[in-house]
């Protein structure tokens, strides 16, 4: 049995934000028969890479279309769209986002469930739209360091 692992990543700059980018990643793992010829294996590698490239590009186009279409939608709650965050609010760093996803994976939390919770709690599209403060709050909660407020 041959194990084929293929992944594809793409980073794009975030409009209107200096030194920020948004990363997109997809990966697939396949088991191939030992009886395949080298040409058949190369074809499988090519096909899986092409599939991932297309999937990431399709997601990017879908995200761009939903962002353009969502510009006229009313915010779900809170009265403020994520795109209208104050200039003083920094986006979550790549390090914060990676740490959140690592902790979620350790705790077997699906990214889709995490993003649904983030949308509900913070009125943003998902993990990559959190502010630095929001990401810190999630990290504190995931690490069991929930802040206690004075009564």
**Pair 144, 105: CB distance under 8 Å:** no
**To the nearest 10°, the Cα dihedral for 109, 112, 114, 118?**
-170
Whether 82 shows a pLDDT value over 70: the answer reads no
Exposed / middle / buried, residue 11 (Cβ in 10 Å: 0-12, 13-18, 19+): exposed
Q: Tokens 């999937």 appear where? A: 55
* pLDDT of the residue at 146: 55
Higher pLDDT, 23 or 139: 139
pLDDT category of residue 128 using cuts at 50, 70 and 90: confident
Is pTM beyond 0.85? Reply is no
Mean pLDDT, residues 100-127: 88
Residue 37, pLDDT score: 92
The C-alpha angle with vertex 101 and arms to 129 and 80, in degrees rounded to 5, equals 20
The total number of residues written for the chain in this structure: 151
In 3D space, the residue among 54, 60, 75, 77 whose CA is nearest the CA of residue 14 turns out to be 60
- pLDDT at residue 134 in the model: 92
Higher pLDDT residue, 113 or 80?
Answer: 113
d(CA 114, CA 74) in angstroms, rounded, equals 23
In the predicted structure, residue 78 carries a pLDDT above the cut 70:
no
Residue % of the chain over a pLDDT of 90? 9
Q: Angle CA(39)–CA(40)–CA(45) in degrees, nearest 5?
A: 95
Tokens of 3: 């194990």
Contact 130, 118 (CB under 8 A): yes
């Amino acid at each position: 049995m041959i194990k084929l692992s293929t992944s594809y990543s793409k980073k794009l700059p975030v409009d209107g934000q200096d030194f920020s980018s948004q990363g997109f990643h997809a990966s697939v793992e396949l088991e191939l028969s030992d009886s395949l010829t080298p040409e058949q294996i190369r074809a499988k590698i090519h096909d899986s890479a092409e599939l991932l490239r297309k999937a990431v590009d399709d997601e990017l186009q879908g995200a761009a279309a939903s962002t353009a279409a969502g510009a006229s939608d009313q915010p779900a709650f809170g009265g403020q769209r994520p795109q209208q965050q104050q200039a003083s609010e920094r986006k979550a760093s790549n390090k914060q986002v990676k740490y959140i996803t690592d902790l979620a994976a350790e705790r077997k939390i699906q990214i889709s469930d995490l993003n649904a919770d983030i949308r509900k709690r913070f009125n943003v599209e998902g993990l990559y739209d959190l502010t630095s403060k929001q990401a810190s709050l999630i990290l504190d909660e995931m690490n069991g360091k929930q802040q206690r407020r004075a009564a």
